[in-house]
Structure 1
Amino acid sequence: MAYTVVGKSVRRVDAIAKVTGKAKYTDDFSERNMLVGKILHSPYAHAIVKSIDVSKAKALPGVEAVLTYKDLPDIRYATALPGVIEAIATDDVDVAELKYGTAGHPFSLDESHRDKEDRRILTQKARFVGDNIAAVVATDALIAAKALKLIEVEYELLEPLTSPEAALKEGAPLIHDDSERNILSSNGYEIGNFEEAVKEADRVFEGEYETSIVQHCHMENQVSHAYVDSDRRIVIMSSTQIPHIVRRIVAQSLGISWGRVRVIKPYVGGGFGNKQDVCIEPLNAAMTLAVGGRPVRLELSREEAMIDTRTRHAFKFKIKTGINNDGKMVAIHISAISNTGAYASHGHSIAGSAGGKFRYLYPTKALKYDPITVYTNLPVAGAMRGYGTPQIFFAFESHIEDIAKKLNMDPVELRKKNLVEVGYVDPASKNKIMSCGIRECIEKGKELINWDVKKSLYKEQSGDKRRGLGMACFSYASGTYPVALELAGARIVMNQDGSVQLQLGATEIGQGSDTVFAQMVSEILGIPMYMVHVISTQDTDITPFDTGSYASRQTYVSGMAVEKAALEVKKKVLEVAHKLTDLPAHVLDLRDQYVVMKESGEQVIALEIVAMQSFYDRVNAQPITSDVSNNARINAIPFGVTFAEVEVDIKTGKIKIIEIYNVHDSGKIVNPLLAEGQVHGGVSMGIGYALSEQLLFDEATGKPLNNNLLDYKLPTIMDTPDIGAAFVEKEDPTGPFGVKSLGEPPIVSPAPAIRNAVLDATNVAFNRIPMNPQRVFEKFKETGLI
């Protein structure tokens, strides 16, 4: 179908505000006499607070409050206590253990499906270096920082468990008393019978692979401010991806009703999943309560944010694959150990997501997945772009490359023999593949990188610098169904001139969703983009309910609500036009700010006249609006591939990317330029994941070694090659305008593609990332290449 706006690279609706500095972020807002909050972090990875003396800090002029675990309420007591806000503010609430979960998932009516509740706002037991022990509220940041140094804490040191192996060993101390052997969860699945199916294979291959802890490094650190309004409700303005979920979790953390909390989200300076966790808002709420409801700002420094928010889970995989001589895989067994750090956060959901999204790419007779998620005394791992899939696809796409090499098969052909087909129904999720362009993606990628010619050219190489080609495929999803609720809301109000306000629960965090939604409304209502006014700020008191920005769900899931709302407005416009013209609504359409004849396009009546009639008709006045929710109980599967060419310096271990192409089947591309930007950002993150990024810790103490942007090696513009983005537009019948997801998929396959290119160049397999020069040099020495 030909569209006039959808499919076009229109300018972002927030472009001018952002480039001129008019866009307002959380830190741009202020309240009168705003106080400042600071956090005392534990210097030890595993320790119990034996005593804490805050008297000197409290006596410092300018200090308004000092909080410890003793000052926070027991949820069971607080829930039943009327006027709990006033009680907390005056220290009248008894002290007891209070735990809550921080992961940004929709609430579940099924208790067994809820996130693990293992967190306190402030803790008596430190579980990682950086854990929150106490907090200060003062008139300014300097006084608050000085007060922190005056807090005297006596610790009883416990053994720090800085690896899953250490945490799992017999007799290891428990990080959480209710988690046997420090295991958060070990739920997996088996499709078919692996042990029986693998016996039918001609050959069996095994491999071990490992990924590292990395950080999101979004530009805007976590920041919020909170106060109590005249209605005795806690108001929090926060840089978050999930305002409606923040509201719920803050209320749970304090043991108050959810309606006592209001959350406002302005522009957000990046999140990548880190702001899909409720990291600082509960403490910020407690701070304002401690000072009688006065406003308190809480902002993390970069050093704090890199260890006291969330990281990407490090994984260790063991893979066993049974395969026939013709290259057809018959059985796969994947064992995975996931390091979730000190608290659950998204926890085992990451391992579950990895095993779930992986299933769509290579269906086999039998697939067994045995993941285990382990607590350690390291910073908390949570959601990060790709949600487990960069880890598992690094492992499996490296594994399948190793198999191709041992079978002396073309790695592209080996993959093509095993790829999914349209119509496949996943046995576990029951999601059906309604569209699949993975084969076309592969062919386009091969053409872009000139695969066949360069493969032949690089076949026999010697010398200090060698080149190679690699590729890796992926599958993903468009939302979380059927694992979790996928509810989204949208509201449209038409103005007297025919323009509209579009209000969304879906959060714009830089990815361009506001623009895409405006394009959808513009297309359906036949009005230009400038007449669609998107209200980008989310406010839980006003905004339609939506679970937030995560899981690459917005264009697909929230887009369903936007499409539904726009179609309802269109229907109402045509009904008014029918009353004015006597022409049946079903023969009418909207184009170029006019009601027109659907078949001929002949203009019938101006949209502005219809809008004015809806406002001011003395008999039938009824402004045209829509306010809808959409519960998506379906999922569309995107696919794609990365092709990479690298040059490896044998003497130094440095890997240089010569060319890289990221090709996607994401259904209809609503805005090609925005889509290309998503690809560039995701591939850049994937390059860092492959070659340089890793949070480092002292193994003996758990202390972070590089939680700053000097020592943590993010790729700079000098390290980033030209990135090629391409699309195969296989429109999916389930999505609005045929869309599928694109936000997270670009991060998934670059790392294994780069790894496989290094293998092609050097004949050395790197099964652990990052492949930084030190690690590459040492591996070359180990294998005798140097």
Structure 2
Amino acid sequence: MQSVGKSVRRVDAVAKVRGMADYVDDIFVKDMLQVKVFRSTIANGRVKKLDVSRARALPGVVVVVTYEDVPKHTFPTAGHPYNKDPKHQDVADRRLLTDRVRFFGDEIAAVVAVDELTAVKALRLIDVEYEQYEPILTAEAALIDGAVEIHEGTKNIIARSEYQLGDWEEALAQADEIFEDEFSTSTVQPCALENHGAYAYMDASGRVVVCTSTQIPHICRRVVGQALGIPWGRVRVIKPCVGGGFGSKQDVVVEPLVAFLTTVVGGRPVKLVLTREETFIASRVRHAIQFKLKTGVKKDGAIVARQMTAVSLNGGYASHGHAIVDNSGEKYRHLYDQLAIKFAATTVYTNMPAAGAMRGYGIPQVMFALDCHMEDIARALRLDPLDFRLKNLNKTGYTDPILGITVRSNGLPECIAKGRRLIRWDEKKAARRQQSGPKRRGLGMACFCYTAGTYPLNLEIAGARIVMNQDGSVQLQVGAVEMGQGSDTVFSQMAAETLGIPVDMVHLISEQDTEITPFDTGAYASRQTYISGMAVKKAAAEIKDKVLRHCGLMTGISPQSLDIADAWVVDHKGARVMPLAEVALDGYYNLACAAPFTADVTNSATTNPLSYGCTFAEVEVDLATGKVKVLEIYNVHDSGKIINPQLAEGQVHGGVSMGLGYALYEQMIFDPATGEPLNNNLLDYKLMTAADTPEIGPAFVETDEPTAPYGNKSMGEPPVMSPAPAVRNAILDATGVKFNQLPMNPHRLFERFKAEGLI
């Protein structure tokens, strides 16, 4: 391997470090107008009266648009591939502006002004009167008989689903012990560095052009077309640099409104960038999910029957809706084996911010419930918790009976062994059999599994285009989206590896533009290195084949005996035949057969491998304060072959940090009487700082995934999935107290320790 497997420098590093990378809010164009949204100050109700006359009269205000001025139809916002079957399409429950308020901060009107200050002043001049209903903030309140319907005709239920495999009653009857428990997770915000923002204008042909911070430019184009009720081809979406998304930008949040507003002001550019406070409530959050588990186990630790029921809180709009909790139900069955399994889930509307995709897509929630439950069972049966997991893991060769995906590589046993060594599990366990005093230490671990894409539930398609320049370097264009995770660098490495050239001879065009960029559904589901990587490899292989055939014409040497290495065409013994640049130049200017070397490839993937891994954590718990200090934490991954070790380690650092925040600090809090968010800012929302972050230990067990372009599997989301249950299990080990609710913050721990008589 010349490029793959090496820690080459990020291709966007210099531009970002020097401040040369342009994000949406860096871009200003002539005659640009600024947009501010008038948001509801209640969580549930209707607008009885809206007076915008004073705002319209303010000098500098160009237009004020209300719910009365926008199209009457609804549209979906989730960043899923389009499905031609109406029964499998996303829920279309959103309007550009609304008089039916469904969460605190819902969008009622929009002001377009010559500058931001004028737009803010205009918002203060809008008068509104509401018909207010009691806010619905829990599943119980949403589902109670007679509850006000947040969306008419739904009974506050977005969807329900269930499955059963095997004879569950018969399998449960074989159990020696039956364990039942409940777990719940919290609503958290992705808190990407860059807030949501977009601007739109109309070009000379009358098409709407949207420049936006998005993970899904091609899907965004379709949703904007649906929202405006215009043909999708009349929309163009451009994605500049993106300052992080973590799934929140896999939703079309601000783009439809600016696209509509530019049509109102004659095509002038209009920009809307949310404030941090707005981003907390008006973008997307992680679903809070409540789980009930029931597991039947033999005395030797063999699981015979498992059952899970889940209720997911979705907020005021469907967004990704039931897909999140359904995904948790899939991974629930993928990790551990059993004779029979049952799963049932319900997703409900509440009067809170819309929950959508967030790093892990339902798996951090279910792994918290599942692997805490596994820990509790092992302890109750007096079994080693690592051996108990190893005994029940699904093995290589496992084929999912519903989706049909097959496990062809599984390094989880080796991951567990590696984590055990790194944290010195056996040594520390033996040294702490008896603990006392106000500070106690404990060890915990948890496992996870995750797919690389969404096949066969959704289309998995990606495009790549390569053009070889006269000097033998190449231009690489992909529809896949770089949003900070390093995909542009990895694709450059893959193209270089396949072509046999240095990475610096690959010039990747990072900006996605639906007018010219190959079709790709976007950055989500940890799919790009696997799915889009296939397209890159195929395109590079096609270029290589054309180069070698042309070199054969130039030299009379059979193309089958030629190769490319270090930008030279070489023979079968590795001897240099001619520089690649000479072949490329001849391809452009040969009088007899000039044909520049190009490739335009679309790959539709029909495989989906599982990545595996685990987290090992050591904590110190201060009983008197409830404070938890993470002393050591190791995140060990089977992500197949690692394409770029340094980038992979960066993913682990970021994911573990996010997972620790989920475990110990973060939650969005709402006033139960009004539904108003109480901590929608970075002062009151307890996001982990550098001072709170422990030393994080990334580790890898490399397997070779045969279906992948270079043996690789998913890496982006997995690091966030198992830190929370690992920390919870470590707290249990230290104190003997179970915590089944996130976050495990000092207040919650102190109250439990006090109730348990530990303080």
TM-score bracket relative to the smaller structure:
over 0.9
**Could you list the runs of 4 or more consecutive aligned residues of structure 1 that deviate by over 4 angstroms after TM superposition?**
none
Distance in 2 (alpha carbons) for counterparts of 1:677 and 1:102: 30
Query: 1:87 matched to which residue of 2?
Result: none
- 1:264 CA displacement: 0.3
SS in 2 for 1:279: coil
Q: 2:560 aligns with which of 586, 596, 603?
A: 586
Distance in 2 (alpha carbons) for counterparts of 1:619 and 1:355: 61
Q: 1:392 aligns with which of 366, 382, 385?
A: 366
Distance in 1 (alpha carbons) for counterparts of 2:506 and 2:427: 49
Assess if the C-alpha contact under 8 Å between 1:358 and 1:474 holds in 2.
Answer: no
- In the alignment, residue 148 of structure 1 is paired with which amino acid? L
Whether 2:273 is the aligned partner of 1:275: answer no
Query: 1:151 matched to which residue of 2?
Result: 126
- 1:195 CA displacement: 2.1
Whether 2:73 is the aligned partner of 1:98: answer yes
Query: 2:154 matched to which residue of 1?
Result: 179
- 1:460 CA displacement: 0.6
SS in 2 for 1:186: strand
- In the alignment, residue 499 of structure 2 is paired with which amino acid? L
Distance in 1 (alpha carbons) for counterparts of 2:668 and 2:560: 60
Q: Counterparts in 2 of 1:556-571, with a 5 A limit?
A: 556-571=530-545
Provide, for residues 480-517 of structure 1, a one-character-per-residue CA deviation record: whole Å limited to 9, x for no partner: 00110000000001000000010010000000000000
Q: 1:642 aligns with which of 599, 611, 615?
A: 615
Whether 2:145 is the aligned partner of 1:170: answer yes
- 1:426 CA displacement: 0.5
Query: 1:194 matched to which residue of 2?
Result: 168
What runs of 5+ residues in structure 2 fail to find an aligned partner?
Answer: none
- 1:189 CA displacement: 1.3
Q: 2:715 aligns with which of 715, 733, 742?
A: 742
Whether 2:666 is the aligned partner of 1:693: answer yes
Q: Which moved more, 1:638-647 or 1:365-374?
A: 365-374
- In the alignment, residue 644 of structure 2 is paired with which amino acid? N
- In the alignment, residue 641 of structure 1 is paired with which amino acid? C
Query: 1:61 matched to which residue of 2?
Result: 59
Query: 1:460 matched to which residue of 2?
Result: 434
Q: 2:41 aligns with which of 27, 40, 43?
A: 43
Assess if the C-alpha contact under 8 Å between 1:54 and 1:151 holds in 2.
Answer: yes
Provide, for residues 89-128 of structure 1, a one-character-per-residue CA deviation record: whole Å limited to 9, x for no partner: xxxxxxxx31111000000011111000101110110000
Distance in 2 (alpha carbons) for counterparts of 1:277 and 1:294: 25
Distance in 2 (alpha carbons) for counterparts of 1:632 and 1:362: 26
Distance in 2 (alpha carbons) for counterparts of 1:604 and 1:178: 72
Query: 1:626 matched to which residue of 2?
Result: 599
- In the alignment, residue 40 of structure 2 is paired with which amino acid? S
SS in 2 for 1:466: strand
Distance in 1 (alpha carbons) for counterparts of 2:289 and 2:723: 17
Query: 1:483 matched to which residue of 2?
Result: 457
What runs of 5+ residues in structure 1 fail to find an aligned partner?
Answer: 74-96
Distance in 1 (alpha carbons) for counterparts of 2:118 and 2:28: 19
Whether 2:612 is the aligned partner of 1:614: answer no
- In the alignment, residue 482 of structure 1 is paired with which amino acid? P
Q: Counterparts in 2 of 1:231-270, with a 5 A limit?
A: 231-270=205-244
Assess if the C-alpha contact under 8 Å between 1:358 and 1:476 holds in 2.
Answer: no
Distance in 1 (alpha carbons) for counterparts of 2:247 and 2:61: 34
Query: 1:308 matched to which residue of 2?
Result: 282
SS in 1 for 2:691: coil
- 1:188 CA displacement: 2.0
Query: 2:88 matched to which residue of 1?
Result: 113
SS in 2 for 1:595: strand
Distance in 1 (alpha carbons) for counterparts of 2:756 and 2:307: 28
Distance in 1 (alpha carbons) for counterparts of 2:571 and 2:614: 44
Assess if the C-alpha contact under 8 Å between 2:642 and 2:648 holds in 1.
Answer: yes
- In the alignment, residue 15 of structure 2 is paired with which amino acid? A
Q: Which moved more, 1:464-473 or 1:521-530?
A: 521-530
Provide, for residues 247-269 of structure 1, a one-character-per-residue CA deviation record: whole Å limited to 9, x for no partner: 00001001000011000001100
Q: Which moved more, 1:483-492 or 1:583-592?
A: 583-592
Distance in 2 (alpha carbons) for counterparts of 1:239 and 1:195: 50
Q: Counterparts in 2 of 1:258-657, with a 5 A limit?
A: 258-598=232-572, 600-657=573-630
- 1:178 CA displacement: 2.3
- 1:365 CA displacement: 1.1
SS in 2 for 1:706: coil
RMSD, aligned CA: 0.7
Query: 2:698 matched to which residue of 1?
Result: 725
Distance in 2 (alpha carbons) for counterparts of 1:60 and 1:193: 70
- In the alignment, residue 364 of structure 1 is paired with which amino acid? Q
Distance in 2 (alpha carbons) for counterparts of 1:581 and 1:424: 50
Assess if the C-alpha contact under 8 Å between 2:461 and 2:602 holds in 1.
Answer: yes
Assess if the C-alpha contact under 8 Å between 2:332 and 2:370 holds in 1.
Answer: no
- In the alignment, residue 545 of structure 2 is paired with which amino acid? K
- In the alignment, residue 779 of structure 1 is paired with which amino acid? R
Distance in 1 (alpha carbons) for counterparts of 2:81 and 2:419: 37
Q: Which moved more, 1:359-368 or 1:319-328?
A: 359-368
Q: Which moved more, 1:653-662 or 1:349-358?
A: 349-358
- In the alignment, residue 327 of structure 2 is paired with which amino acid? S
Distance in 1 (alpha carbons) for counterparts of 2:393 and 2:559: 46
Distance in 1 (alpha carbons) for counterparts of 2:173 and 2:106: 49
Distance in 1 (alpha carbons) for counterparts of 2:298 and 2:125: 68
SS in 2 for 1:655: strand
- In the alignment, residue 98 of structure 1 is paired with which amino acid? H
Q: 2:68 aligns with which of 67, 70, 75?
A: 70
Provide, for residues 112-160 of structure 1, a one-character-per-residue CA deviation record: whole Å limited to 9, x for no partner: 1100010111011000001001000000111101111111212111121
SS in 2 for 1:476: strand
Provide, for residues 627-664 of structure 1, a one-character-per-residue CA deviation record: whole Å limited to 9, x for no partner: 01000011011000000000000100000000000000
Distance in 2 (alpha carbons) for counterparts of 1:270 and 1:298: 18
Distance in 1 (alpha carbons) for counterparts of 2:429 and 2:571: 57
Q: 1:678 aligns with which of 645, 651, 664?
A: 651
After TM superposition, the score normalised by the length of structure 2 is: 0.99
How many residues get paired? 759
After TM superposition, the score normalised by the length of structure 1 is: 0.96
Whether 2:195 is the aligned partner of 1:221: answer yes
SS in 2 for 1:555: helix
SS in 2 for 1:136: strand
Distance in 2 (alpha carbons) for counterparts of 1:191 and 1:682: 33
- 1:192 CA displacement: 1.3
- In the alignment, residue 39 of structure 1 is paired with which amino acid? V
Q: Counterparts in 2 of 1:109-148, with a 5 A limit?
A: 109-148=84-123
SS in 2 for 1:718: helix
SS in 1 for 2:710: helix
Q: Which moved more, 1:223-232 or 1:359-368?
A: 359-368
Distance in 1 (alpha carbons) for counterparts of 2:24 and 2:467: 27
- 1:292 CA displacement: 0.9
- 1:164 CA displacement: 1.0
Distance in 1 (alpha carbons) for counterparts of 2:318 and 2:331: 21
- 1:55 CA displacement: 1.3
Query: 2:635 matched to which residue of 1?
Result: 662
